[in-house]
Amino acid sequence: MPSDLSYWLISAPLKDGDPNIMLNEVSSTIGKDVEVATWEIPELKAGTLSSLLTLSDQLPKLDNQFTSTVSKLLDTLRSLVSDDSTKLAQHARVNDRPAEEFLLGGGGGFRWDKSRWGSGGKVLEVVDALTKEMNSIESIQKQKSQSYNLAKGSLTTIQRKQQGNLSQRSLLDVVNKNDLVENSEFLETLIVAVPKNSQKDWADKYERLTSMVVPRSTQRIASDDDYFLQTVTVFKKVKEDFIHKCRENKFIVRDFKWDDSALEKQKKELAELGVEEKELWTELLRLTRINFSEAYQILAHLKTVRLFVESVLRYGLPADYAGVIVRPEPKTAVKTLRSISDHYSYLASASRGPSTKKNKSGGSTSNSEDVGGEWASIMEAEYYDFVLFEIPKVIT
């Protein structure tokens, strides 16, 4: 059964050349509580039966690709606005309107964009043009996203250095020059993060971890919830051995070298990266908003092509077909589908031949005795006497 989280796109042979007849019939069949509007299907040039069959096999794959692109763009928007539903609704729009208004047209329905995709072109050429546009969107979006993610990653790395506990964070704004022994040929001051529950161990052991440790040289220069930050002065020749012994006792020797300009450089880099990340965020948000609108429109037009191709394959030429879009209500979706299926049961002979039977949802399936070989699994799949495809709702 089609999802009630999608809109249902339906096509059937046109009656008396008037698409409104189909709209009125479906509307009266499903009741006034379910919104329905027209869906324009252009009179494209169908081409040969062989080309249509090939296209019918390719279109589901393209449909999945296009739908995935739209979904990724929506996810990107959601991430950029920190999952704020109000802000997402402001950006996840189609032609600067809510997606539902674009599809349902405020009751006026969906109109094929003739200025962009023509009104009577070859169906294969239309599909190629739609694919080219979607591929272009994906390529541009990928490049801009990579630039933003790179800048964001660099900013996050520096921000992490300024956060966390004393065993991890940057010490540039913690250690003072006066805490260190400088310009000594033989001595070096090490910075050690000592777990708070090992405070006594440090005091008892640090002088005896190795030889050549300066007695009573340890000083506490900072603390947090987890660690004390201690200095200790050792002879350079025992530095590596002292670090090894600290590791054995779960004392963490921080890699630190004093640089008079390092703190200023870090602040400057952080500020520059913050500005760059903000600029790229703004650019990516603007681009993603545009790309989402474009991609959703392209997806809607591809769905229209699918309605056309499937209708021609089922009902033949001339290609006079009408379409409607249905906005199912979750509580009544099963009933709505059954009502539509019952209404279009007269199309069974045209689309499948006389040997059909109803499935649980009210659609038709061929008698399994008449179907075999490689087509058996396809014929056992859910099937309706009318053409039905789905287009996802934009949930913000």
What is the reported pLDDT for 351? Answer: 55
Q: Which residues are CB-contacts of 295 (< 8 A; sequence separation ≥ 6)?
A: 66, 69, 70, 73, 134, 137
What is the reported pLDDT for 263? Answer: 73
What is the reported pLDDT for 119? Answer: 82
Task: Write b or e for each residue in 115-135: b if 16 or more Cβ atoms lie within 10 A of its Cβ, otherwise e.
Answer: eebbeeeebbebbebbbebbe
Q: Give per-residue pLDDT as tens, 259-279.
A: 877 777 878 888 889 999 999
Pinpoint the residues of the chain covered by CATH 3.30.70.100.
177-257
Q: Give per-residue pLDDT as tens, 184-235.
A: 999 999 999 999 999 999 999 999 999 999 999 999 999 999 999 999 999 9
pLDDT at position 307 over 60 = yes
What is the reported pLDDT for 170? Answer: 85
Q: Give per-residue pLDDT as tens, 110-168.
A: 999 999 988 888 999 999 999 999 999 999 999 999 999 999 998 888 887 777 899 98
% of the chain at pLDDT higher than 90: 64
Listed as own residue / partner, the contacts of 90-94 with beta carbons closer than 8 Å and 24 or more positions apart are 91/285, 91/288, 91/289, 91/292, 92/289, 92/292, 92/394, 92/396, 93/289, 93/292, 93/293, 94/292, 94/293, 94/296, 94/297, 94/394
User: 177-257 — its CATH code?
Assistant: 3.30.70.100
Mean pLDDT of the chain: 87
Of residues 5, 81, 46, 57, the one with CA closest to residue 289:
81
Pick the residue with more confidence: 325 or 4? 325
Pinpoint the residues of the chain covered by CATH 1.20.1460.10.
6-153+277-347+387-392
Confidence of residue 327 (pLDDT cuts 50, 70, 90): very high
pLDDT at position 360 over 60 = no
Q: Give per-residue pLDDT as tens, 289-303.
A: 999 999 999 999 999
- In the beta sheet, which residues pair with residue 6? 392
User: 6-153+277-347+387-392 — its CATH code?
Assistant: 1.20.1460.10
Q: Give per-residue pLDDT as tens, 33-55.
A: 899 999 999 988 988 889 999 99
